[in-house]
Structure 1
Amino acid sequence: MRELELFVVGSLNMDLTVQVTRLPGRGETVAGAAVVRAAGGKGANQAVAAARLGARVRLVGQVGDDALGRELLAAVAREGVDVSGVRQAPADTGVAMIVVEDGGENMITIARGANGLVRPTDLDLTGADALLLQLEIPVDACLSAARQARAHGVPVILNAAPYAHGLDELLPLVDLLIVNEGEAAALCGGTDTAALIALGPRAAVVTLGERGARGQDAAGACQVPSFPVPAVDAVGAGDTFCAQLALSYAAGLPLVQAVRRACAAGALATTGHGAQTAMPTGDQVERLFARAS
């Protein structure tokens, strides 16, 4: 696969993660291990994942004019991501509070901070093979970016996570929609990919966790199983899936092949702790893909 250029408009958060033996119930306190601080945010995570997978990546977003913001920018830049489009705003840097239980399941709460101020204008999409968006920034920001991409003939890929209202104008601009089961249900009342496509996108993929993923485009529907791996932490797996799917889709692979590669990448991301720290390289994905073929 040739080197692709991915343009990501999205969030940057500082992740604060605590490992627990089990997730707490409503109103319950559960003791955990020490707090681990690491770079995160869906925009930054998907940008780093794509860079690890071998793409040239440009990231547009916003952090606070504070120590956490500068730390985030440095961490993402070290991964080879072009962060010249990330601005510093007079606001707090976004923070994600993450609780991860043994086995990988997690709970996440986000304080949006500077991510809520993202307003992409005059994007230089020269050379971009695809635009990748998520919903940790305002829907209006995604809509502006998508309109600019469409005007330049750049495919638009939307990971509609976390679910947000007011997507009626955005979805018809989307070439590929990526959601999990909960997000799909919020959008169309179920997980039927045909119902998702009826909302406007040209193709749709629903991730199913350990059951893999299903997708649909003009060529038909597909169901792809997961790759069995020793999972320890699912944080960042979905973002890795999205990055690999975006790259495979931009490269013109049939949807079923693109989804299968994305499942391999997402599975590998669960075999280490943390989001960006556990993301695989392109070579690792190719080896797992080859062994399972």
Structure 2
Amino acid sequence: MSDHFTSRSPEVAPLVSVFIALRKNEGLTAQRLAISRAQPLLHLPMVRDRAERTGEDSAVAAVDLVRDHVRGLDNLTDRIIADAALGLGSFADVYRSGGLPANILHKLESGDLGVRRAVVLSYWVDLHQALAGSDFAGAPEAPSDRSLRGRAEDEVFERLAVQLLTASHLHISQRTSDLTATAAVVSEAWPKPIGRVIVVGGVTIDHVWRVDRPPDLETSRIATGYSRAPGGKGLSQAVAVARLGFDIALLAAVGKDQEGQEILDHLELEGIDRSLIRAVPNATTPATGIFERPLGESAAAVWRGPLGLDSRHLDRHAKALSSCAALLLTFEVPLPILHRTLDLAAGRPDERPVIIVTPGQPYPDAELPRDTLRQIDYLVARPWELERYARSADARYDPQLISNELLKQGLKALCVLGTRGGTVYLSAGDSIDIPSTSSVIKESSITRDAFCAALATGLLERRPLADAVRWAAAAMAAVSADYLKSPSPPLRARVDAMYQKYFA
């Protein structure tokens, strides 16, 4: 079908990665697409055109188009495997007419990928016969379970990606005489990156219990909700940067266990470079237990165990740290790792990255040496975190006094985030207000992560500092406005909308 795209075309791999990441659990659904950064699929010209014509959300349009193209795959086996792996239910009516029982049809749309695969293997001949109808001449030999979950599904995804890309190529060619529009079918709608961003921080598996208030000691409380997902300030900031359209890598450590692989898969889905990740054999990936109240307030307990970054791993990536355009660093890493990271990143004073640091978990000794402060461009903190770094009793209760002390020690700028808005204190004695927006959600970890990501990308886009601060405030406003529906970093279009609403 294609004389333009093949399985080796560079545009194919990003689409295949989306299918591999989203086949897990309930498969390829509009809801999962809407909260992920699956741009290679969402930004296909056919998807955007269908969404515009029908008024559908782009995620809904994408799922419908994938379902259509699964039905159009040349090979019956490819159709069966792709439909089951992605949980699409494309052939439910055909299977029903072919005599497959209702409980089997239900399992083919199960939220468990393993169940869907088991049905494919157990009913291999029946599924082929139902699709072939009167033309049925026998089914090919069924693959093994290992072969199905490995090479067979991946190769089907490659053929599906080629078909989608080819159709998009033809779609553009038919709609425009400008043949250059076909040069980047997948990436044409992405914002143009301006330098690479690296985040150095922690990753965990978050277990979140939603409660009206955390239980008292010696008591229990019924939770109104529970979720489990990859988290950590490092991961959250990396996702926030990725969703703003920038080239982003995360430098962190995970265990070589199921949870570590889950985190790696999540990073791939979000378009985050995983090449700086340290995967440690025989180590357990950190976990966080969070009690979250209705309006965003929370309390957490973090278990890290012995897993962590070490100086040798940092030194292996010294060139990446010193040559990136911006570095986001959190206090989730041990203090020696923080110092070593800053030394490597700021080692070239003539050409060094913008360095933004968040003291989300202040170090027990509460000491930031002068040399460390001189290496930091923006310290983004809450008032209570700064109390530990006050050098006088009066300064503990006055952010202006704390900022004066830290700025005299060499810090270039201090961003203090309050419940609403905040202030950026500058070394020249000036300050910039961080505008506040209306929201019932208080300032939280995720709003700060969005602020840091937007501040970094705004500066890389060469916005004036005051405008970069407003852009970062718009990112916080987007998180707050959407928190009850989706407590996750916003996409760039959403930040743009909030910027236009409040600050344009």
TM-score of the two chains, using structure 2 as the length reference: 0.54
Which protein shows a greater Rg?
2
Q: Residues of 2 paired with 1:45 and 1:274: CA distance?
A: 17
* Pairing 1:141-160 to 2, within 5 Å after superposition: 141-152=337-348, 153-160=352-359
* Pairing 1:99-248 to 2, within 5 Å after superposition: 99-113=291-305, 116-119=308-311, 120-123=314-317, 124-125=319-320, 127-152=323-348, 153-164=352-363, 165=365, 166-168=367-369, 169-188=371-390, 189=396, 190-192=398-400, 193-209=403-419, 211-218=420-427, 220-229=430-439, 231=441, 234=444, 236-248=446-458
Unaligned runs of 5+ in 2: 1-190, 391-395
Q: Residues of 1 paired with 2:456 and 2:305: CA distance?
A: 27
User: 1:8: how far off?
Assistant: 1.0
Say whether 1:10 aligns with 2:201. yes
**Which residue identity lines up with residue 100 of structure 1 in the other structure?**
E
**Which residue identity lines up with residue 283 of structure 2 in the other structure?**
A
Q: Residues of 1 paired with 2:489 and 2:461: CA distance?
A: 20
The structure whose residues are more often helix, as a share, is 2
User: 1:72: how far off?
Assistant: 0.7
Q: C-alpha root-mean-square deviation of aligned residues, in Å? A: 2.4
Indicate how the Cα distance of structure 1 residues 25 and 37 shifts in structure 2: closer, same or farther if over 3 A, else same: same
Q: Tell me the SS of whatever aligns to 1:84.
A: coil
**Which residue identity lines up with residue 354 of structure 2 in the other structure?**
P
The number of aligned residues is: 291
What do the CA deviations read for 1:171-214 (whole angstroms, capped 9, x no partner)?
Answer: 221111111111111112242232332333111101112x2111
Q: Residues of 1 paired with 2:326 and 2:255: CA distance?
A: 27
Question: Which residue does the alignment assign to 1:272?
Answer: 483
Q: Of the candidates 273, 276, 281, which is equivalent to residue 491 of structure 2?
A: 281
User: 1:115: how far off?
Assistant: 5.0
The structure whose residues are more often strand, as a share, is 1
**Which residue identity lines up with residue 426 of structure 2 in the other structure?**
D
**Which residue identity lines up with residue 205 of structure 1 in the other structure?**
C
Task: Check conservation: 2:411, 2:427, Cα contact below 8 A.
Answer: no
**Which residue identity lines up with residue 72 of structure 1 in the other structure?**
I
Question: Which residue does the alignment assign to 1:81?
Answer: 272
Task: Check conservation: 2:211, 2:292, Cα contact below 8 A.
Answer: yes
Structure with higher RCO (Cα < 8 A, 6+ apart)? 1
Identity of aligned residues (%): 28
Task: Check conservation: 2:283, 2:307, Cα contact below 8 A.
Answer: no
